[in-house]
Amino acid sequence: MYYTWCLAILLIFNTTTAFAEFQENVSSSISSQENVLAVASAATESTKKNKLIAGYVETASISICGQMLPIEVDAKLDTGADSTSFHATDIVINKKKKKSNLHQF
């Protein structure tokens, strides 16, 4: 529980800081529409670099019609969920490599 709260506080702090920097940049160069668009895209790029994505990636198996298949995918574990779930559409299964590609979530 302590770990979850620390991550939540860290994520809120990073998001708030990035938004404050973005707002300051936009308000200081509001003279023309072109400047605003350039500043917005520059701030977005710096926000992506500072973005923290937390989670544990684990290997998950797929069962179809109650049968466990020897297909494994990498999935991110949601630490705040009550139970684990996996939802995807348009799944392509490569039987030779025993891997699957998830095209749409």
Residues 22, 45, single domain; the answer is: yes
**Burial readout 33-68 (b: 16 or more C-beta within 10 A, e: otherwise):** eeeeeebeeebeeebeeeeeeeeeeeeeebeeeeee
Placement of tokens 């574990």 in the chain: 77
Q: Is the pLDDT of residue 70 over 60?
A: yes
Q: Same structural domain for residues 34 and 69?
A: no
Q: Say if residue 21 is in the same domain as residue 41.
A: yes
- The residue-averaged pLDDT of 31-45 equals 40
Considering only 17-26, 55-64, 94-103, which range has the smallest mean pLDDT?
17-26
Task: Note the Cα 92 to chain centre separation in Å.
Answer: 22
Average pLDDT over every residue of 51-62: 66
Question: What's the pTM value of the predicted model, to 2 decimals?
Answer: 0.26
- What is the arithmetic mean of pLDDT over 47-63? 64
More confident residue, 65 or 6: 65
Residues 6+ apart with CB under 8 A from 70: 61, 98
Range of the domain at 93: 56-104
Same domain, 77 and 44: no
- For residue 80, the model assigns a pLDDT of 67
Q: What is the mean pLDDT of the chain?
A: 55
